[in-house]
Amino acid sequence: MLDVAITGGMVVDGTGAEPRRADVGIVNGKVAVIGELKDSSKQVIDATDLVVSPGFIDLHTHYDAQAFWDTTLSPSPMHGVTTVIGGNCGFTIAPLTPQDGDYLMRMLARVEGMPLEALQQGVPWNWHTTAEYLDSLDGKLLPNAGFLVGHSALRRVVMHDDANQRAATPAEIELMVVLLRDGLRAGGLGFSSTWSPSHNDHTGSPVPSRHGTREELLALCAEVSQHEGTTLEFIPAVGEFPNEVFELMGDMSAAANRPLNWNLLQVFAQNWDLVQHQLAGFDIAAARGGHVLALTLPDTFRVRLNFKSGFILDILNGWDSLMALPDDAKTAMLRDPDGRAEMNRLAQTTEGPTRAIANWAGYFLLQTFTAKWKPFEGRLIGEIARELGVDAWNLLCDIVLDDRLLTVIASQDRGQDDETWRRRVEVWRDHRAVVGASDAGAHLDMIDSYAFSTTLLARAVRERDLMPIEEAIYHLTDRPARLYGLKGRGRIQQGWAADICLLDPTTVGPGPALMRFDLPAGAGRVYGESIGIEHVLVNGVPCVRNNVALEARPGTLLRSGRDTETVTVR
């Protein structure tokens, strides 16, 4: 007898093969039959007019903390995601010591936009090792989840406050290697780090991993080579990468003998020359024995900025320390005419593409919290300023002061034209890139990229017919699964895990993104449901039905070697 029978659907198996009409029978969490079912079943799911797909795989999330207060890891499963990878960018919360826990918590609140009150009230912070952290989540999650071991946590445990101030000694590097070894033996899926200038902690200082030297990175990557089923993730810079960055990543990949994916390649019709430059890094890295892929988001990375968190704004020249100030100090500076003038002067001295962050007139006033400014929501700051006869920067400062720093502004989304979507599809098909980069679980007040899977299916397949659905699903399932060596996942195949998504191809897409105040301590987040994702099964167990999480928590805590096979570059 079957445990679950999915009948009458169009099976898209994840390999890129053409859809075919077939039933799917599940026994003990695995696909047992694909074809016409003859055995009886304990549960039948009618998939008439639906696509039966492997569950989607999200390689870049930050659910490390949210997993304690929300075991569904929402909203990802509502968008068909059945496997998530956390611990990216070097920002893990294990290993941990009592003296460094408060730092890691506040760093996460600052650099990954997780409300501090939610981290304080929703996470126990009672483990020491990566093994203890993984064990605390094992058997409790709705989707499958695996976690990398993060560089910043390793540095803090070894060097404490010095981790943010200097290079490590050889002895300290060796201690980090030992901690990484312990984490990978416990099942960590690999090593992650960042050198990105956008990553500053709550004091305005570069996060610990940004103080790591090339030698330190290579020593840690070399340790990864000793452990089965592991991988690398890295954020090296922002903007156009110099050749030295690609050479570094090539050397990291070669030292680990593992693929390395870097975050983030944004694709627009207008930045095609930059895209080609970034993709060419694959060849520079390959010449050094590495395999380096760009992780690309299949949408615009829309961000909602505010002066309370200051994330992204702190990239502006001199603003890293300003955005780390307490709220009352920020407010005082914005209220003082000389202070706000100095802030703008510093911002305008920013060089390169990031100077566009200081184009105050080009932001939309997305959300305000005072009646005075509510009528202006949804309009450009510059347009409002012209109407009121004031300067855009000073107008924004006035609104931000009235809103107690909570004002939400957003850049114009210039990435929804047909040519941009054609270019994005071209990149997905390029062997030098892989789809992902949702950042789900992070920047909770800023982003809606958790919907990357439904957005890809809606914009590129359903609306524009730029690729067949079987190819799109391949990029969301088998392609990332094979990169990370996930055993028996990423396809609907006999004997493989029954991670399955049932979707309506005529309606699939992301729903509207709205603020939802459901975090510990009543903190808010940007949240959006899906459209057309009707059923989600994890390891053969129904878990989501029409955006509602069911009671089951059948997700596997993925551990390197046991649940992953080794993907090498040599």
How do residues 181-191 score in pLDDT, each as one tens digit? 999 999 999 99
Give me the helix-helix angle, 151-159 and 98-111, nearest 10°.
Answer: 140
Work out the pLDDT band at 26, boundaries 50, 70, 90: very high
CA distance 275 to 285: 16
Q: Fill in the DSSP letter of residue 18.
A: P
CA distance 447 to 304: 6
Tell whether the model's pLDDT for residue 515 goes beyond 90. Answer: no
Tell whether the model's pLDDT for residue 204 goes beyond 90. Answer: no
Asked if 117 and 134 sit in the same domain, the reply is: yes
Tell whether the model's pLDDT for residue 238 goes beyond 90. Answer: no
Asked if 153 and 71 sit in the same domain, the reply is: yes
Tell whether the model's pLDDT for residue 342 goes beyond 90. Answer: yes
DSSP-based three-state secondary structure for 73: coil
Asked if 350 and 464 sit in the same domain, the reply is: no
Q: Rg of the chain's alpha carbons, rounded to an integer?
A: 23
Query: What is the average per-residue pLDDT within 334-341?
Result: 97
* Helical (H) or strand (E) element with 283: helix 272-286
Say if CB 263 and CB 418 are below 8 A apart: no
Q: Which amino acid is at 73?
A: L
Work out the pLDDT band at 61, boundaries 50, 70, 90: very high
Query: What is the average per-residue pLDDT within 39-63?
Result: 97
pLDDT value at residue 353: 81
In a domain, 192, yes or no: yes
In a domain, 371, yes or no: yes
Work out the pLDDT band at 199, boundaries 50, 70, 90: very high
Asked if 178 and 86 sit in the same domain, the reply is: yes
Work out the pLDDT band at 389, boundaries 50, 70, 90: very high
Asked if 285 and 380 sit in the same domain, the reply is: no
Work out the pLDDT band at 516, boundaries 50, 70, 90: confident
Show the domain range for 386.
Answer: 305-411
Say if CB 45 and CB 535 are below 8 A apart: yes
DSSP symbols for 476-491:
HTHHHHHHTTBTT-SS
What percent of the chain is modeled with pLDDT above 90?
A: 92
Work out the pLDDT band at 528, boundaries 50, 70, 90: very high
Question: CB 333: neighbour CB atoms within 10 A?
Answer: 16
In a domain, 107, yes or no: yes
DSSP-based three-state secondary structure for 140: coil
pLDDT value at residue 302: 86
In a domain, 33, yes or no: no
In a domain, 50, yes or no: no
pLDDT digits (tens, 9 = 90+) for 411-450: 888 899 999 999 999 999 999 999 999 999 999 988 999 9
The count of structural domains within the chain is 2
pLDDT value at residue 258: 98
Spell out the alpha helix ranges (H) of 94-242: 98-111, 116-122, 130-137, 151-159, 170-185, 214-224
Tell whether the model's pLDDT for residue 303 goes beyond 90. Answer: no
Asked if 233 and 170 sit in the same domain, the reply is: yes
Asked if 244 and 315 sit in the same domain, the reply is: no
pLDDT digits (tens, 9 = 90+) for 245-261: 999 999 999 999 999 99
Query: What is the average per-residue pLDDT within 481-498?
Result: 98
pLDDT digits (tens, 9 = 90+) for 535-552: 999 999 999 999 999 999
Q: For residue 379, give Cα distances in angstroms to 358, 383, 387, 388, 541.
A: 17, 7, 11, 13, 46
Tell whether the model's pLDDT for residue 39 goes beyond 90. Answer: no
CA distance 278 to 276: 5
pLDDT value at residue 445: 83
Q: Which amino acid is at 517?
A: F
Question: CB 282: neighbour CB atoms within 10 A?
Answer: 21
Tell whether the model's pLDDT for residue 311 goes beyond 90. Answer: no
Asked if 189 and 108 sit in the same domain, the reply is: yes
In a domain, 509, yes or no: no
In a domain, 507, yes or no: no
Q: Which amino acid is at 212?
A: G
Choose the final residue of a domain: 376, 411, 446: 411
Indicate the pTM of the whole model.
Answer: 0.91
Query: What is the average per-residue pLDDT within 280-302?
Result: 96
Tokens of 266: 């944004």
Q: Reply yes or no: is the peptide bond before residue 95 cis, omega within 30 of 0.
A: yes
Choose the final residue of a domain: 360, 393, 411: 411
Tokens of 330: 């920020």
Q: Which residues contact 280 (CB under 8 A, 6 or more apart)?
A: 246
Asked if 334 and 367 sit in the same domain, the reply is: yes
CATH at 97: 3.20.20.140
Q: For residue 180, give Cα distances in angstroms to 55, 221, 265, 358.
A: 30, 10, 28, 39
* Helical (H) or strand (E) element with 347: helix 337-348
Tell whether the model's pLDDT for residue 517 goes beyond 90. Answer: no
Q: What does pLDDT average to over the chain?
A: 96
Asked if 190 and 92 sit in the same domain, the reply is: yes
CA distance 247 to 241: 10
Asked if 327 and 359 sit in the same domain, the reply is: yes
Q: For residue 531, give Cα distances in angstroms to 80, 419, 451, 455, 538.
A: 10, 25, 10, 10, 19
Tell whether the model's pLDDT for residue 354 goes beyond 90. Answer: no
Asked if 181 and 214 sit in the same domain, the reply is: yes
Strand 500-503 versus strand 51-54 pairing type:
antiparallel
In a domain, 542, yes or no: no
CA distance 155 to 164: 9
Tokens of 31: 């696909």
Tell whether the model's pLDDT for residue 324 goes beyond 90. Answer: no
Say if CB 545 and CB 532 are below 8 A apart: no
Tokens of 507: 């309606």
pLDDT digits (tens, 9 = 90+) for 115-141: 999 999 999 999 999 999 999 999 999
Choose the final residue of a domain: 386, 411, 436: 411
